Amino acid sequence: MEYKKQIEQLIVDFRTNYLSSVSIDFVIFGFHDGQLKVLLLRWKETDKWCLPGGRVRHEENLETAAYRSLQERTGLSEIFLEQFHTFGDVLRYTHFSKEETMGTLGLPQDVLDGFPGRDVSVGYYALVEFARVTPTPDLFTDECQWWDIDQIPLLLFDHNAMITLALKTLRRQLSYQPIGYNLLPEKFTMPDLQQLYETILGQTLDRRNFQKRILGYDILDRLDERKTGGAHKAPYLYRFNKEKYEKALKGEVLFVG
């Protein structure tokens, strides 16, 4: 089916089965080769990028819609997902005008007029294990790709502001909750975990204080094996205790350091 017909059918689907003025946008964080990354979509036949998003069906809870949309973009069903802000400014086209943004679709005006008008967008950030993600573009886009957090280009809509606020929220989370379960492989070293925290915070942490704080959460199981292949004394491997980790996220585990 030609692209225009697909878009026209999608518009009919939007009007019939989805809330007309509520959308969802995702800042999907991954961690790879010592870099914090964000998943972006490139619109069809353009060099313009945006965050992945989704819409809410009439008979669907907001969180259910968020998990469904995330699975469509990443292929994952178990994801740490946190709502961080609602974006409701009247003008949400920060770097490119609405006409320029919608014009990237290459569709005639009568088709574009069928799109929903003003949207209030609920922002979520997600933490995913980089190696397990299968980035998948949607009907409007040609490519779904990871970008280093410090190399994000000018994005469509207000999506640069979304990333900035999501990262600020994630950094704030580090002050009262652990992270890492969804970002690191199953087995990791204490230096691996510290590197993750330092990358997110953008600063160096004292090794002893960091280890004391993390162990104080009592969410790690130290394994009877060490990391292989290093030039120095191999550090022990750890893994998260999922039950204790989830309790810590709910505030049911107090820091004991």
Positions in the chain whose pLDDT score sits under 50: 253-257
Q: Are residues 25 and 73 in the same domain?
A: yes
Q: Are residues 123 and 45 in the same domain?
A: yes
Q: Are residues 133 and 240 in the same domain?
A: no
Rounded Cα distance, 25 and 242, in Å: 27
pTM for this predicted structure: 0.87
Which of 173, 208, 229 is the C-terminal boundary of a domain?
173
Query: What pLDDT sits at residue 254?
Result: 43
Asked if the structure places residue 178 within a domain, the reply is no
Q: Are residues 165 and 43 in the same domain?
A: yes
pLDDT (tens digit per residue) in 155-213:
988 999 999 999 999 999 888 888 899 899 999 999 999 999 999 999 999 999 999 99
DSSP string, 198-238: HHHHTS---HHHHHHHHHHTT-EEEEEEE--S-SSPPPEEE
> Considering its fold, how many domains does the chain have in total?
2
Q: Are residues 238 and 127 in the same domain?
A: no
- Asked whether 223 and 239 are in contact (CB, 8 A), the reply is yes
Q: Are residues 97 and 138 in the same domain?
A: yes
Q: Which residues contact 208 (CB under 8 A, 6 or more apart)?
A: none
Rounded Cα distance, 245 and 257, in Å: 16
Full domain range(s) for residue 218: 188-251
Q: Are residues 164 and 212 in the same domain?
A: no
